[in-house]
Amino acid sequence: MRLLSARIDFSDSDNPGGPRLRCAFGTPRQTLVAHGLAQVRPVLNAVQAAAAQGFWCVGYLRYEAAPAFDAALAVHAGPVADGPVAWFAVYDEALPWPRDDDASAGTAQVQWQAACPRPVFDAALERIQRAIAEGELYQVNFTAPLRGALRGGPGSDAALALFAALRRAQPGGYAAWIDTGDEQVLSVSPELFFDWRAGRILTRPMKGTAPRGTTPAEDAAQAGALRTSAKERAENVMVVDLLRNDLSRIAEPFSVRVPRLFHTEALPTVWQMTSDVEARTRAGTTLADVFAALFPCGSVTGAPKVRAMQMIRALEPQARGVYCGALGVVRPSEQGIRATFNVPIRTVTVRGAAVRCGIGSGITADAAPDAEWQEWRHKRAFVERASMPFDLLETLALEGGHLRHAAEHLQRLAGAAAHFGTPWDAAQVQHCLHQLAQAHPQGLWRVRLLLDTQGQARAEAFAMDASSPRPVRLQLADRPLMEVHGEFVRFKTTRRAHYDAFTPMQPGVFDTVLWNAEGEITECTRGNVALMIEGRWVTPPLACGLLPGVGRALALREGRLTEAVVRVEDLPLVQGWAFVNSLRGWMGAERV
């Protein structure tokens, strides 16, 4: 197999839902590298010249390249420890994307550690907001790295496997994999920095974030709240104004315009707000001129850019590296060249076994520490999803050769597959279950139906005792489950460490009743919970953070249950308990 050193999977900026630029690259004919600031402009000039001659150029600029264009842009001084400030490979041609890409990638695992404890985070926000109150600036994009160790194979093999997982976790957008030999850059950024062709330049800054909802109605409400949030709109407008000013440096007079403002985009774990700013570039504008006008993108600095970058250097103790720089492709076109770069957020860099991924957000005058901290948690969900292999899971009862509530379980599994971007073949899954049922025509069995990342189903059957003890004993968790609103609670998978941490240790205790940070009861670790209060059976609503169990849904449909928020402080009012899931049905319970 021919060695591949880069892959590009870019959305068409003018037609995001249309055909993608999806290609791979073999051994480069040459590399263009800037180890110091004085070499950055010459490298960009060489890239433009190569593309004009018919070659493809793929590469990146680190955030620390900024002073090459303006000495007032503050970054951490001196050489960047983890690589050159600019790197591009020049290729004779673009190759087809490998057909067996995901199937041959294998698996990779990363255990991440955050580098910014909450007290450090709070202190940084306080300092930023004090500077805003004193009129120094309007906004600062504050970031910190996650660091970890990569396991799963030698060097670039593990990095490529992680890239495949990242693309499944964050599909679409502007994805790229670059292997320089010393490091691998794995970007699944949803943000377009700029697309420049035929004298037209388009930028699409991304500013404004909201979490995805746990139900379709809540999801729509989150999107609506983002679109109408005064804080998020103000944050977006600040960056739009900054980009308009930056573009004016290379634009024909009166050509800068904003054709789209406050557009919400649905990503797997968050809603993001983007706006379009475009212009016609002046005759004679070069690629280096474009970078001199725009780099770094205002969405990852703040406003005004010079003062914001000074604050960033003071608050962030390390270089950002490729994160928040620019990564993209410069290629030949009928009109000369076409340059498309992303803003490398949602980007992982790998050096040996060491991995790094930056997370951040824009801090404004009315930013609330708790809300910003939660935004960081939502933004890092994509990399956490990709960093540990998992299968989608359904647990069914097989009794006398009949699969109980199979249609409901398959519907839920299909929903999980859609959420995680897992290929879904209903006929293949049903055939897998049918074969298992035929092999176990008698008795009671617990069936584990698994769907892997390639969409391949497998099923396992385990003998089950029909005489489960009743009532079962339940204990209350001694601390809140912090991940209640995460996707590994809302969808059933084999990733269960957050549940396993609450496994009962006391003999005779069947399960643990969980509750969230707001003190609301949510579910048990293996099923839903029902509580009798004031003579009626209730179960927590999905908004509290819990799995939408099949048994729970059936009980709600039958009218046996209604939804109601129950707090830990309300538990003395509980007159009865029940454990509910599809496998075991309705089981009377008592609290230890």
Q: How large a percentage of the chain has pLDDT more than 90? A: 72
Q: How far apart are CA 260 and CA 240, in angstroms?
A: 11
pLDDT score recorded for residue 468: 59
DSSP 8-state code for residue 520: B
pLDDT score recorded for residue 482: 84
Mean pLDDT of the 387-399 span: 92
Q: Which range, of 60-69, 98-107, 130-139, 379-388, averages the lowest pLDDT? A: 98-107
Nearest to 168 by CA among 416, 373, 489, 496: 416
335, pLDDT greater than 50: yes
pLDDT score recorded for residue 446: 96
2, pLDDT greater than 70: no
319, pLDDT greater than 80: yes
Q: How far apart are CA 103 and CA 126, in angstroms?
A: 47
pLDDT in tens, 453-467: 889 999 999 998 876
- Domain regions of the chain by residue span: 6-386, 392-463, 472-591
Burial 296-314 (b: 16+ CB within 10 A, else e): bbbbbbbbbbebbbbbbee
**Burial (Cβ within 10 Å: 0-12, 13-18, ≥19) of residue 254:** exposed
The radius of gyration of the chain from alpha carbons, rounded to an integer in Å, stands at: 26
Q: What token pair was written down for 485?
A: 């609103």
Q: Which residue out of 64, 183, 191, 375 is catalytically annotated?
A: 191
pLDDT score recorded for residue 469: 61
DSSP 8-state code for residue 480: -
- Catalytic site residue 207? yes
Q: Are domains 392-463 and 472-591 of this chain identical in fold?
A: no
pLDDT score recorded for residue 467: 66
pLDDT score recorded for residue 79: 54
Decide yes or no: CATH 3.20.10.10 for domain 472-591: yes
Residue 209: φ, ψ to 5°: -140, 145
Q: Which residue out of 64, 134, 183, 207 is catalytically annotated?
A: 207
213, pLDDT greater than 90: no
Mean pLDDT of the 169-178 span: 91
Other CB atoms within 10 Å distance of the CB of residue 77: 9
Mean per-residue pLDDT of the chain: 91
pLDDT in tens, 247-306: 999 999 999 999 999 988 888 778 888 999 999 999 999 999 999 999 999 999 999 999
Q: How far apart are CA 348 and CA 334, in angstroms?
A: 34
pLDDT in tens, 122-173: 999 999 999 999 999 999 999 999 999 998 755 567 888 899 989 988 888 9
In CATH, the number for domain 392-463 is 3.30.470.10
CA 63 to chain centroid, in Å, comes to 21
1, pLDDT greater than 60: no
Residue 172: φ, ψ to 5°: 80, -160
195, pLDDT greater than 50: yes
**What superfamily would CATH give domain 6-386?**
Anthranilate synthase (3.60.120.10)
Q: Which residue has the higher pLDDT, 229 or 568?
A: 568
Mean pLDDT of the 342-357 span: 94
